[in-house]
Amino acid sequence: MDLDLKGRRALVCGSSQGMGLAIAKELSEMGAKVTLFARNEASLKKGLQELSPGDHDYLVADFDDLKAVEREVKKGLNNGAYHILVNNTGGPSPGSLVGADLLAFEIAMRRHLHVSHTLVQLLLPGMKEINFGRIVNIISTSVKVPIPGLGVSNTVRGAMASWSKTLANELGQFGITVNNILPGFINTSRIESLVAGKSKSQGKTEAEVEAEMKKTIPAGRFGEPSEIAAYAGLLCSNSGGYINGTSLRIDGGRTGSI
DSSP string, 86-102: EE--PPPPPB-STT--H
The neighbour count for residue 218, using CB atoms within 10 Å, is 10
87 vs 15: CA distance, rounded Å: 10
Domain regions of the chain by residue span: 9-186+224-250, 188-222
Whether 168 has a pLDDT exceeding 90, the answer reads: yes
The alpha-helical segments, DSSP class H, found in the chain are 18-29, 41-48, 66-77, 102-109, 115-130, 151-171, 189-202, 206-215, 225-236
Task: Supply the pLDDT for residue 125.
Answer: 98
| Of residues 85, 203, 196, 89, the one with CA closest to residue 134 | 85
126 vs 81: CA distance, rounded Å: 5
Task: Supply the pLDDT for residue 198.
Answer: 87
Amino acid found at 223: G
Q: What is the pLDDT of residues 148-162, one digit of tens each?
A: 989 999 999 999 999
| Of residues 168, 166, 139, the one with CA closest to residue 241 | 168
Q: What is the pLDDT of residues 125-135, one digit of tens each?
A: 999 999 999 99
Task: Supply the pLDDT for residue 129.
Answer: 97
* Superfamily in which the 9-186+224-250 domain is placed by CATH: NAD(P)-binding Rossmann-like Domain (3.40.50.720)
Give the mean pLDDT of the chain. 96
Task: Supply the pLDDT for residue 193.
Answer: 86
Mean pLDDT of 28-44: 98
Whether 114 has a pLDDT exceeding 90, the answer reads: yes
Q: What is the pTM of this model?
A: 0.96
The neighbour count for residue 179, using CB atoms within 10 Å, is 23
